[in-house]
Amino acid sequence: MLAAAPNRFSRCRSLLFVIVKADAHARAAEAVVLGGRRLSSSGSAATAVGGPGAALDQGWWRWWYLQRKSPPIGVCARGGATALQRRPQLRRLRSTMAKRVNSSDSADKSEEGSSVPHLERTAGEPRDEALIPVVVQRVDRVNDQIRLFRLGIPPSAQPVKFLAGQWLDVFCPGVSRAGGFTLTSSPTKALPRDSDGSGDADHRSGTGGYLELAVQNVPKNPPAAWLWQDLPAAGPASSPPSAVVGREIQVRVGGKFTYPPPASAGIDVASLRRVVFVAGGVGINPLVCMLSYIAEKQSSRSEPHLEVDFLYTVKDPLAQGGSGGRKGEEILFLDRVARIYEGGAMKGRFRLFLTGSNDGGNADDNTICMEDGLRVHFDKRRVTVDDVVTSLKGKQKDGNAGLDKETTLVYVCGVPGMTDEFVKQLTDVDGVVGMPKERVLCERWW
């Protein structure tokens, strides 16, 4: 249908396509901006990335194409194309969407709390076409602001495959806007299991796998608010049960911040000797997925052993008004990461940095004790680029001659200011480190 557009628009290099689809699931029409696409005369640039049922050959749909730097605005409805040069409502639409796209280029808000809708922000990212029905199996509290959601994959469904670090488009019932949440479980957990849970199984037998998400409590974000729904508490001292356990939602895999890195990065994974992960706050989400995946592969000896350093900086629970002592279980994924290193499944070092520390007189106590006795040492400061340099040196402690830059990957995920500063300092050709840019991968949604 897009091929029916006037040819004069096919020569434009900066078109924005807005597909508006009223789908068969009675979801409100959803607008999706496809940035950076060039429309060919054959219409090959057309891509449907809307909600369920948003294929171009289903239902009634309309699309608008807007050229960012020239006046013409066109509209195509099913069955034909008509150029509308001076429609006021389309001019307003063009202005509004251009502002949204421009703001998404430098969005600094959190993944769940961003004012730019997830589908618009990630329109240029790779994503699967298929929507996957999953069921919310369980909801676990991490702290007052974060919960873990386990999404069960039906045993009859096709196996779900994704790369460590990718995210999900999440479509919740009755919510017109899709959410974007990073997968925190290893890709192997999505594979079907034998009935006793002991190994992989054919997708037609055994039990289905699962996907895990860590979602912040952001009431202004509709998908997050839907997931955080609670039933009335049984009593004043009890926690309210989740209202979404047993509910079905639909998800779709996307993203390119992954391990192994995408082929476009030009990295020879077989030659890697070291990986350094730098996580800031909830930026740990994609990195804990990657770490778990590497640990599983190395324990099974299906991949060469790597030396992996994990640097995690997060706000001290006591600085957030915590009482009754510092609880390691309330630090997102602390237990999971610490156990990977404690169990010897990973060669390398885990370092925890707590910011805003308020020790209440215990200034010399730099250890968190988990409920089962596992003890984790921490530094009372923010992680710095110097800490990454220490990891790059490996066993070479003197000078920078020992920096292992050509066989190392550095992944950085945190708030935009932190992420940008680390990337800048690590890749500055005139700086101390001088890492090749393709070897410092980052995600700055948080």
For 412, the 3-state DSSP assignment is strand
Query: What pLDDT is attached to residue 32?
Result: 36
Sheet holding 350-355, edge to edge: 367-369, 375-379, 350-355, 307-315, 274-280, 408-413, 440-443
The β-bridge relationship of strands 408-413 and 274-280 is: parallel
Note whether 252 and 168 are within 8 A (CB): yes
CB 65 within 8 A of CB 45: no
For the segment(s) 263-443, the CATH number from 3.40.50.2000, 2.40.30.10, 3.20.20.70, 3.40.50.80 is 3.40.50.80
Q: Cα–Cα distance between 180 and 119 in angstroms, integer?
A: 8
Q: Report the distance separating Cα 102 and Cα 98, nearest Å.
A: 6
Q: Which two tokens stand for residue 117?
A: 């809708």
Q: Residue 36: what pLDDT?
A: 34
Q: How would you write the pLDDT of the chain (446 residues) with one tens digit per residue?
A: 333 333 433 344 334 444 433 333 333 333 333 333 333 333 333 333 344 433 333 332 333 333 333 333 333 333 333 333 344 554 554 444 444 333 333 333 345 455 688 999 899 999 999 999 999 999 999 999 999 999 999 988 888 999 999 999 999 999 999 999 999 999 999 998 764 455 554 444 457 899 999 999 999 999 999 999 999 987 666 678 999 999 999 999 999 999 999 988 889 988 999 999 999 999 999 999 999 999 999 887 766 679 999 999 999 988 766 556 788 999 999 999 999 999 777 899 999 999 987 665 455 579 998 888 899 999 999 999 999 999 998 755 455 456 888 899 999 999 999 999 999 999 999 988 999 999 999 997 64
Q: How far apart are CA 396 and CA 110, in angstroms?
A: 37
Q: Positive or negative CA dihedral for 330, 209, 444, 123?
A: negative
Task: Please state the φ and ψ torsions of residue 214, each to the nearest 5 degrees.
Answer: -110, 115
- Name the class of domain 132-254: mainly beta
The whole-angstrom separation of Cα 263 and Cα 378 is: 36
Report the pLDDT value the prediction gives residue 193, as an integer from 0 to 100: 74
**260 upstream amide cis, omega within 30 of 0:** yes
Which ranges of 215-372 does DSSP label H, i.e. alpha helix? 222-227, 284-299, 334-342
The backbone torsions φ and ψ at residue 421, rounded to the nearest 5 degrees and listed phi first, read -65, -45
CA distance 255 to 237: 41
Q: List C-alpha distances in Å: 300 to 208, 293, 319.
A: 22, 11, 40
Quick one: pLDDT at residue 218?
94
C-alpha distance across the termini of the chain, in Å: 37
Q: Give the span between the Cα atoms of 273 and 54, in whole angstroms.
A: 44
Which distant-in-sequence residues (6+ apart) come within 8 Å of 115 by Cβ? 103, 109
Q: 79, 77, 132, 73: which is closest to 97 by C-alpha?
A: 73
Buried b (16+ CB within 10 A) or exposed e, 210-248: bbbbbbbbbeebbbbbbbbeeeeeeeeeeeeebbbeeee
CA nearest to 353, candidates 387, 308, 397 = 387
DSSP state of 375: E
* Amino acid code (one letter) for 290: M
Please check whether residue 129 is in contact with residue 158, taking contact to mean a CB–CB distance below 8 angstroms.
no
Q: Where are the domains of the chain?
A: 2-105, 132-254, 263-443
Q: What pLDDT was estimated at residue 344? A: 77
